[in-house]
């Protein structure tokens, strides 16, 4: 096993900067997720770690080896592709054995390692089949077994679950997490699915326009997003972003004072944006000191809870309430922003992911 050190890596393709001066340290045995919208540079960063592309500048080390200019075969990595990339003319057992044979591993050892990897992935019964005779989930397992069998220092996964249907995806997500926790191999996992990122990774690096905006534990990224983009890209619904005006250690939202958990040091009168998660809003049916008066605009029953869209002056805020909360469109409500969960997210004119 080995950690990965990425130092000031930049990569451009014909004038497009795909990865822009990224530095990232991935610990030995860590599960790091690269998360971001399409085109943000996740796959390019993964390919640079793998050695399929070489950076224009910067340095990559795996363990204490500088691999910046090494070919993929010399990096002690294994990659799982979105398309699985199985050889259609080879049986499952030969697909899994392929890399070992390329490395001239002895026949008996190949047999025992293929069996071991197949057992780990629960595909022993499929070893004699061809890829076309497998379901999507089974192909995905073979692709992972083919990576594991190499016992690499680092496993790189590029959207490995995105070809599966929703239910299988959910199941494989938990299975993969369990497996990778057990084998404790350093893993870098690319996805644009924030649920996958939150549920699987030890840490998540959120990317946009080739840069890493924030790298932290899933709970930290969810609860304390570094900026408006991260706040609105992560979480369903996205964090509510509300315009406010700073005044000492409080902000004023639609004329109501809201306390910030930390002193802002902003000059009084500065326009800011604050973030609050839907589940951190206490909804009251009667007026309450310090609560924001709101009107119910939309009610969405989501099975486990109701998601309310509320008009607060010119702002639109989403709050979740229990399914037995009696409410109808047009009702007046009062919103109490839970102490300690309001986040200051910078100036009011910063843009979100849709801009
Ligand atoms: P997706 O989720 O859609 O796969 P991504 O975040 O993985 O997106 P990349 O594939 O890394 O993004 O692409 C980042 C940027 O670099 C994009 O603008 C893309 O068009 C560009 N790019 C990537 N590879 C190449 C290439 N080989 N030639 C030209 N441009 C490229």
Q: Which atom of ligand 1 is found nearest the CA of 210?
A: 14
Q: Which domains does the chain have, with CATH numbers?
A: 4-233 (3.40.50.300), 240-347 (2.40.50.140)
Degrees to nearest 5, angle at CA 6 with 209 and 46: 60
Tell me how far apart the 2 most distant CA atoms of the chain are, in Å. 77
Residue 181 CA to ligand 1 center (angstroms) comes to 29
**Ligand 1 atom 30 nearest Cα:** 13
In DSSP terms, 272 is beta-bridged to 244, 347
Give the separation between CA 313 and CA 244, rounded to whole angstroms.
Answer: 12
Residue 218 to residue 62: CA distance in whole angstroms: 24
Pocket test for ligand 1, best of 9, 20, 41, 205 (most atoms within 8 A of CB): 41
Rounded Cα distance, 38 and 193, in Å: 10
How many Å apart are CA 95 and CA 233, to the nearest integer? 37
192 lines ligand 1 (CB under 6 A): yes
Q: 96: which DSSP letter?
A: H
Q: How far is the CA of 333 from the centre of ligand 1 (A)?
A: 46
Which residues, listed in sequence order, are joined to residue 80 by a DSSP beta bridge? Answer: 157
Q: Is 141 in the pocket of ligand 1 (CB under 6 A)?
A: no
Ligand 1 touching residue 14 (CB < 6 A): yes
Name the residue of 12, 15, 18 to mutate for ligand 1: max ligand atoms within 8 A of Cβ.
18
Per-residue pLDDT for the chain (355 aa), expressed as one digit of tens each? 689 999 999 999 998 999 999 999 999 999 999 999 999 999 999 999 999 999 999 999 999 999 999 999 889 999 988 887 889 999 999 999 999 998 899 999 999 999 988 988 888 999 999 999 998 888 988 998 999 898 899 999 998 888 777 887 888 888 888 888 888 899 999 999 988 999 999 999 999 999 999 999 999 999 999 999 999 999 989 999 998 888 767 787 887 888 777 767 777 888 889 999 999 999 999 998 889 999 999 999 999 999 999 999 889 999 999 999 999 999 999 999 988 898 988 754 444 443 3
The answer to whether 267 and 300 are in contact (CB under 8 A) is no
CA 321 to centroid of chain Cα atoms: 26
Note whether 79 and 50 are within 8 A (CB).
yes
The response to whether residue 41 sits with its C-beta less than 6 Å from ligand 1 reads yes
pLDDT digits (tens, 9 = 90+) for 157-180: 998 888 777 887 888 888 888 888
Task: Provide DSSP, 246-310.
Answer: EETTEEEETTEEEE-SS---PPTT-EEEEEE-GGGEEEESS--TTPEEEEEEEEEE-SSSEEEEE
Residues 6+ apart with CB under 8 A from 136: 163, 164, 165, 168
Token readout for 71 is 């070919």
| pLDDT, tens digit, 9 for 90 and up, residues 263-313 | 677 778 888 899 999 999 999 999 988 899 999 999 999 999 999 999 998
**C-beta neighbour count of 47 within 10 angstroms:** 20
Give the Å distance between the CA of 40 and the centre of ligand 1: 7
**191 Cβ closer than 6 Å to some ligand 1 atom:** no
- Compute the chain's Rg from CA coordinates: 24
Nearest CA to ligand 1 atom 21: 18
> Any residues with CB less than 8 A from the CB of 63 and at least 6 apart, and which?
2, 3, 28, 153
36 lines ligand 1 (CB under 6 A): yes
User: Counting Cβ atoms within 10 Å, is residue 303 exposed (0-12), middle (13-18) or buried (19+)?
Assistant: exposed
Query: Which tokens in the block code for residue 235?
Result: 């979480």
Edge-first strand listing for the sheet containing 16-26 = 16-26, 4-13, 57-62, 65-66
Cβ(146) to ligand 1 under 6 A?
no
Mention every residue, 6+ apart, whose C-beta is less than 8 A from residue 135.
none
**Residue 48 Cβ contacting ligand 1 at under 6 Å:** no
Tokens encoding 121: 């992935």
CB 38 within 8 A of CB 16: no
Backbone angles phi, psi at 278, to 5 degrees: -55, -35
For a pocket test of ligand 1, which of 14, 16, 56 has the largest count of ligand atoms closer than 8 A to its C-beta?
A: 16
Nearest CA to ligand 1 atom 5: 39
Q: How many other CB atoms sit within 10 Å of the CB of residue 97? A: 22
Which positions ≥6 away from 197 have C-beta within 8 Å?
33, 35, 191, 204, 218, 234
What number of other Cβ atoms are within 10 A of residue 72's Cβ? 16
Q: What is the pTM of this model?
A: 0.89
């Amino acid at each position: 096993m080995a950690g990965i050190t990425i130092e000031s890596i930049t990569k451009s393709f014909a004038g497009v900067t795909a990865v822009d001066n990224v530095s990232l340290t991935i610990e030995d045995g860590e599960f790091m997720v690269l998360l971001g919208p399409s085109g943000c540079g996740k796959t390019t960063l993964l390919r640079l770690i793998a050695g399929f592309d070489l950076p224009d500048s910067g340095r990559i080390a795996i363990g204490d080896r500088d691999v910046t200019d090494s070919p993929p075969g010399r990096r002690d990595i294994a990659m799982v592709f979105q398309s699985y990339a199985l050889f259609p003319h080879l049986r499952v057992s030969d697909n899994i054995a392929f890399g070992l044979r390329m490395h001239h591993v002895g026949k008996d050892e190949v047999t025992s390692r293929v069996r071991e990897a197949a057992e780990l992935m629960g595909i022993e019964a499929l070893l004699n089949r061809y890829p076309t005779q497998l379901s999507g989930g089974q192909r995905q397992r073979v692709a992972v077994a083919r990576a594991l069998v190499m016992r690499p220092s680092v496993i790189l996964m590029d959207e490995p679950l995105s070809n599966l249907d929703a239910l299988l995806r959910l199941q494989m997500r938990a299975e993969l997490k369990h497996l990778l926790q057990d084998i404790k191999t350093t893993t870098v996992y690319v996805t644009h699915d924030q649920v996958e990122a939150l549920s699987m990774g030890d840490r998540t690096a959120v990317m946009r326009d080739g840069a890493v905006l924030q790298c932290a534990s899933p709970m930290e990224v969810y609860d304390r997003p570094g900026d408006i983009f991260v706040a609105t890209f992560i979480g369903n619904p996205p964090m509510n972003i509300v315009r406010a005006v700073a005044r000492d250690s409080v902000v004023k939202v639609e004329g109501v004072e809201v306390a910030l958990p930390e002193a802002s040091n902003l000059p009084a009168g500065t326009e800011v944006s604050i973030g609050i998660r839907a589940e951190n809003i206490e909804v009251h049916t009667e007026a309450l000191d310090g609560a924001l008066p709101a009107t119910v605009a939309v009610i969405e029953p989501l099975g486990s809870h109701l998601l309310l869209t509320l008009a607060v002056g010119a702002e639109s805020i989403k709050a979740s309430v229990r399914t037995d909360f009696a409410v109808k469109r047009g009702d007046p409500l009062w919103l109490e922003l839970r102490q300690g969960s309001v986040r200051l997210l910078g100036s009011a004119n910063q843009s979100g992911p849709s801009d």
